[in-house]
A and B are shown apart, each in its own frame.
Chain A
Amino acid sequence: MTYVYAFLFCGFVCMVAQIIMDNTKLTPGHVTSIFVVVGAFLDIAGIYDKIVLYAGAGALIPITSFGHLLIHGAMDIATTLGPLGLAFGIFDLTSAGISVALFLSFVLALVFKPRH
Chain B
Amino acid sequence: MFCFLYIFINIINTNSGDIMNKKKYKEIVDLNTPKENSVKNALIAFLVGGILGSLSELLLRCYSIWFDLPRKESGVLVILTLIAIASILTALGLFDVLVTKVKAALIIPITGFAHSMTSAALEYKNEGLVLGIGANIFKLAGTVILFGVVSVYIFGLVRLLIMGG
Interface residues of A (CB under 8 A from B): 2-4, 6-15, 17-19, 21-23, 28-29, 31-33, 35-37, 40-41, 43-44, 55-58, 60-63, 65-67, 70-71, 74-75, 78-79, 82-83, 86, 90, 93, 96-98, 100-102, 104-106, 108-115
**B26 CB, nearest partner CB in chain A, Å:** 13
Residues on the A chain within 8 Å of B103, using CB: 18, 21
Supply 12 A–B pairs (Cβ within 8 Å), ascending by A.
A17-B45, A18-B46, A32-B108, A33-B143, A75-B165, A83-B160, A86-B157, A90-B152, A101-B141, A108-B90, A112-B92, A113-B125
Determine whether the beta carbon of B57 is less than 8 Å from that of A58: yes
Residue of B112, B125, B152 with highest tally of chain A CB at under 10 A: B152
Task: Describe A's contact surface by its main secondary structure.
Answer: helix
Determine whether the beta carbon of A3 is less than 8 Å from that of B58: yes
Contact of A111 among B50, B54, B91, B151 (CB under 8 A): B91
Determine whether the beta carbon of A62 is less than 8 Å from that of B147: no
B103-136 residues at the A interface, CB under 8 angstroms:
103-105, 107-110, 112-114, 117-118, 120-123, 125-126, 133
Given A21-B103, A21-B104, A113-B122: 14 more A-B contacts, CB < 8 Å:
A4-B54, A14-B48, A14-B109, A28-B112, A29-B143, A57-B60, A57-B78, A58-B56, A60-B78, A62-B109, A75-B159, A112-B92, A112-B122, A113-B125
Interface residues of B (CB under 8 A from A): 36, 38, 41-54, 56-60, 71, 75-76, 78-80, 82-84, 87-88, 90-93, 103-105, 107-110, 112-114, 117-118, 120-123, 125-126, 133, 137, 140-141, 143-149, 151-153, 155-157, 159-161, 163, 165
Task: Describe B's contact surface by its main secondary structure.
Answer: helix
**B126 CB, nearest partner CB in chain A, Å:** 8
Contact of B118 among A33, A79, A93, A108 (CB under 8 A): A108
Contact of A15 among B46, B84, B109, B137 (CB under 8 A): B46
Residues on the A chain within 8 Å of B59, using CB: 57
**B125 CB, nearest partner CB in chain A, Å:** 5
Q: Report the Cα distance A100→B108, complex, angstroms.
A: 18
**B24 CB, nearest partner CB in chain A, Å:** 21
Determine whether the beta carbon of B79 is less than 8 Å from that of A60: yes
Residues on the A chain within 8 Å of B52, using CB: 10, 61
Determine whether the beta carbon of A60 is less than 8 Å from that of B56: yes
**B120 CB, nearest partner CB in chain A, Å:** 8
| Given A63-B109, A74-B152, A101-B83: A109 and B125 interface contact (C-beta under 8 Å) | yes
